[in-house]
């Protein structure tokens, strides 16, 4: 009975080669449409940044705001692809002691950005920061700051970022439709830090990952995040569209036409933002645990699995995190539950591969040149078997041409990418 049900589930979840290629073609179509300004689920947002030379140098601040943490770092770029981190501060958006949640709707934009400016101040006043470098930095103030902002935003210039919508369950009031560059500048001013620090570049986290990988490896032409959320950017070389090659943020998490199961439809319906971020909801860390929970509950209700197997706390929606899922996939519960986890991981890798193949076809339909995709994010780096599954799915789609594609794991490149962007724009 269980075997049969798992077999059926596999048929529902796992993409055949035809379905994988079809999804890749649709992805490419949505990229083309989004780029030419037509209705598309892919926003194709220009970053105003190209490829770094690797020679960028100087001392800059990086700020990174994601769905769960904010980090600030003072980084020294030495050129030749080398850099040194001088000081770093990291804070969860939910305070572990007070439980205060900067992502909540009851929190104002001012409160969130005051918190970020506070982190910047902590880095600047940190006694661990090498005093000599501090003098050097202080003499050349204001220190330009690069802001990696892991949400979809539009920008007409590099130091602007108008938030289109929040996702990953962040709901802070008064930010959507506003320029996060201005919000940050105002908060720095409230702390009297404006003469010391100047926001100079804002970029998506995928763009920052691209820059940090390309600083060391000039072959990088795509970057993906497969973590709490999912997104991909790439180097658009189409001369008619932009005067120079430019990194474009596809916002691939919002891709809307991958084949969905009943479970995906239900998760989307019951989520905070129905109809949005459909691709992300099928494959990223924020949601994989919840899909697994739903399927497991369904199997239990059908008498196929024993519900007493999983912790009582897992009764609540979103109680199963990406980490929990990795634990299940590694074989810590029964094989039935493990198989469900493995199928979801495999499908996630297939979907990401379909998006990457569609992206490569857009850039280079015959796969005539080599492509390197830099990937960061907890799902890619920490989920058991994820990286080999992704490779296998790329191979299934591209067959022998898979040799033209290199996947490069990158860990925590966001802050260094943010400062590389600053070095690029301040030397323009
Ligand atoms: C979400 C955001 C996107 C970000 C991704 C990864 O999909 O919309 O901007 O890059 O998460 O953090």
Stretch among 60-69, 225-234, 261-270, 307-316 having the lowest mean pLDDT:
307-316
Parallel, antiparallel, or unpaired for β 230-236 and 220-226?
Answer: antiparallel
**Of 37-46, 62-71, 129-138, 252-261, minimum mean pLDDT range:** 129-138
Q: With bands split at pLDDT 50, 70 and 90, how would you rate the model's confidence at 311?
A: confident
What pLDDT, on the 0 to 100 scale, is given for residue 109?
A: 98
Mean pLDDT of 113-119: 97
Distance separating alpha carbons of residues 376 and 384, to the nearest angstrom: 15
pLDDT at 132 (0 to 100): 64
Overall average pLDDT of the 321-346 stretch: 95
What number is the average pLDDT over the span 68-84? 94
Per-position DSSP letters for 65-107, written without gaps between them: E-SSEEEEEEEEEEETTEEEEEEEEEEESB-TTT--BTTSTTS
Q: Which candidate, 247, 174, 237, places its Cα nearest to that of 420?
A: 247
Q: Which DSSP state fits 15?
A: P
What does the pLDDT read at residue 96?
87
Query: What is the residue-averaged pLDDT of the chain?
Result: 94
Ligand 1 nearest-atom number relative to CA 280: 7
Average the pLDDT over 262-276 and give the result: 95
- Of 64-68, 107-111, 205-209, the one with minimum mean pLDDT is 64-68
Cβ(151) – ligand 1 distance below 6 Å = yes
Q: In this structure, are residues 191 and 121 in contact, taking their beta carbons and an 8 Å threshold?
A: yes
* Percentage of the chain exceeding pLDDT 70: 98
CA nearest ligand 1 atom 2, residue: 151
Which among 184, 188, 168 has a CA at the least distance from the CA of 64?
184
Q: Which protein residue's CA is at the shortest distance from atom 1 of ligand 1?
A: 229
pLDDT band of residue 240 (cuts 50, 70, 90) is confident
Whether the per-residue pLDDT at 231 is higher than 70: the answer is yes
**Model confidence, pTM:** 0.96
Q: What pLDDT was estimated at residue 324? A: 95
Q: Tell me, using a 6 A CB cutoff, whether residue 205 lines ligand 1.
A: yes
pLDDT band at 223 (very low <50, low <70, confident <90, very high): very high
Residue 253 alpha carbon to ligand 1 centre in Å: 7
pLDDT of residue 310 exceeding 90: no
Q: Please give the sequence-ordered ranges of beta strands (E in DSSP) within 301-417, or none if there are none.
A: 371-376, 405-409
Q: What distance in angstroms lies between residue 82's CA and the mean position of ligand 1's atoms?
A: 27
Task: Identify the DSSP state of 159.
Answer: T
The response to whether residue 231 sits with its C-beta less than 6 Å from ligand 1 reads yes
Ligand 1 in reach of 225 Cβ (< 6 A): yes
Higher pLDDT, 255 or 272: 255
Task: Give the pLDDT score at 338.
Answer: 96
The end-to-end CA distance of the chain, in Å, is: 65
Give yes or no for residue 204 CB within 6 A of ligand 1: yes
Ligand 1 atom, smallest distance to 67 CA: 12
Q: How far apart are CA 226 and CA 205, in angstroms?
A: 11
pLDDT higher than 90, residue 357? yes
Q: Answer yes or no: are the C-beta atoms of 357 and 401 closer than 8 Å.
A: no
What average pLDDT does this structure show over 373-377? 97
Cβ of 152 less than 6 Å from ligand 1: yes
Whole-number pLDDT of residue 127: 77
Residue 173: pLDDT over 80? yes
**Residue 407 falls in which region: left (phi positive, over 0), alpha (psi -120 to 50) or beta:** beta
Phi, psi of 199 (to 5 degrees): -60, 125
Residue 48 has pLDDT above 80, yes or no: yes
The residue whose CB lies within 8 Å of the most ligand 1 atoms, and thus the one to mutate among 65, 71, 148, 167, is 167
Tell me if 253 CB under 6 Å of ligand 1.
yes
* b/e 114-125 (16+ beta carbons within 10 angstroms → b): bbbbbbbbebbe
Task: For the chain, give the percent of residues with pLDDT over 90.
Answer: 88
307-333: burial string, b at 16+ Cβ within 10 Å, e else:
eeebeeebeeeeebbbebbbebbeeeb
Contacts of 222 by beta carbon, 8 Å cutoff, 6+ apart: 210, 232, 233, 234, 235, 356, 359, 360, 371, 372, 373, 374
Do the beta carbons of residue 53 and residue 426 sit within 8 Å?
no
Question: Which strands form 82-92's sheet, in the order they lie side by side?
Answer: 82-92, 69-79, 57-65, 143-149, 197-203
Average pLDDT over residues 173-201: 97
Whether the pLDDT of residue 137 is over 90: the answer is no
Euclidean distance between CA atoms 37 and 35, whole angstroms: 5
The residues facing 83 across adjacent strands are 77
pLDDT at residue 428 tops 70 = no
Atom number, ligand 1, closest to the C-alpha of residue 151: 9
Order of strands, edge to edge, in the sheet holding 246-249?
Answer: 45-46, 246-249, 230-236, 220-226, 371-376, 405-409
| Ligand 1 center from residue 192 Cα (angstroms) | 31
Average pLDDT over residues 90-105: 94
CA 269 / ligand 1 centre spacing (Å): 20
């Amino acid at each position: 009975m269980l075997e049969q049900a798992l077999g059926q589930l596999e048929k529902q979840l796992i993409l055949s080669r035809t379905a994988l290629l079809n999804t890749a073609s649709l992805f490419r179509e949505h990229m083309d449409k989004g780029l030419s300004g037509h209705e598309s689920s892919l926003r194709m947002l220009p970053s105003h940044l190209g490829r770094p030379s690797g020679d960028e140098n100087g001392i800059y601040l990086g700020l990174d705001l994601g769905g769960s943490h904010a980090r600030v770092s003072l980084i020294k770029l030495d050129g030749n692809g080398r850099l040194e981190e001088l000081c770093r501060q990291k804070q969860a958006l939910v305070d572990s002691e007070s439980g205060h949640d900067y992502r909540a709707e009851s929190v104002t934009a001012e409160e969130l950005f005051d918190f970020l400016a506070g982190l910047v101040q902590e880095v600047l006043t940190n006694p661990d920061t090498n005093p000599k470098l501090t003098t050097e930095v202080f003499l050349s103030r204001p220190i330009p700051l690069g802001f990696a902002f892991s949400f979809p935003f539009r920008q007409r210039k590099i130091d602007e970022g108008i938030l289109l919508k929040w996702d990953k369950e962040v709901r802070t009031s008064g930010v959507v439709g506003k320029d996060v560059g201005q919000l940050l500048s105002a908060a720095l001013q409230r702390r009297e830090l404006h003469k010391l620090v100047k926001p100079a570049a804002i970029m998506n986290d995928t763009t920052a990952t691209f820059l940090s990988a390309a600083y060391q490896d000039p072959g990088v032409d795509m970057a993906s995040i497969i973590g709490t959320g999912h997104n991909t950017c790439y180097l658009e070389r189409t001369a008619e569209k932009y005067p120079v090659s430019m990194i474009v943020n596809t916002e691939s998490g919002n891709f809307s036409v991958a084949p969905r199961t009943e479970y995906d439809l239900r998760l989307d319906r019951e989520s905070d933002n129905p109809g949005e971020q459909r691709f992300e909801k099928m494959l990223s860390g924020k949601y994989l645990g919840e899909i697994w929970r739903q399927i497991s509950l369904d199997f239990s209700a059908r008498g196929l699995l024993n519900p007493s197997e999983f912790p009582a706390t897992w009764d609540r929606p979103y109680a199963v995190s990406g980490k929990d899922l990795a634990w299940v996939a590694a074989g810590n519960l029964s094989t039935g539950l493990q198989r469900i986890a493995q199928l979801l991981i495999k499908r996630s890798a297939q979907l990401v591969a379909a998006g990457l193949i569609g992206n490569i076809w857009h850039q280079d339909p015959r796969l005539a040149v080599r492509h390197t995709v830099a990937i960061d994010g907890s799902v890619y780096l920490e989920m058991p078997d994820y990286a080999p599954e992704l490779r296998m799915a790329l191979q299934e789609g591209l067959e022998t041409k898979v040799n033209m594609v290199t996947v490069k794991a990158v860990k925590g490149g966001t802050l260094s990418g943010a400062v590389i962007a600053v070095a690029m724009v301040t030397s323009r």
